[in-house]
Amino acid sequence: MHSMQKIGMYWSHIPGYQDRQTCQFCERIETMEHILITCNNHPTRVIWQLAREIWPSQTYNWLKISLGLILGCETITSPRGDAHPNIPQVEQNRRTHHTKGATCLIQITLTESAHLIWVLQCERVI
């Protein structure tokens, strides 16, 4: 992150643009964590709610969203079912395939949700 995004305190020293440093909904200094996760802005809440709704919650628990999780989402793996001697190999293969699908789903969901929130933030502020 290293303050590369034009958010928060970046705008504090630019005449005429100081109002961009605070969130217009929460009146807090903009940070990437605030924009992507904690902001009470309607689109942010709706996007994460929709992401949670498409997640197969009967099989896997929804993850607690954090900035670190979003930044490191490519390293996420879904929990695998342990190999068991009484479970046929075909069933074990199906479980492995199923967890690969869940891993792809969470990675895509996190990255696309965060990207959409960021794009909407840029449209709103700039």
Look at residue 81 in the predicted model and tell me its pLDDT: 44
| Buried/exposed 14-32: b ≥16 CB within 10 Å, e otherwise | eeeeeebbbbeeeeeebbb
pTM exceeds 0.85, yes or no: no
DSSP designation for 116: H
- Tens digits of residue pLDDT in 39-94: 988 999 999 999 999 998 888 888 899 999 999 998 887 655 444 445 455 544 55
CB 104 within 8 A of CB 50: no
Give me the residue spans of the domains in the chain: 42-125
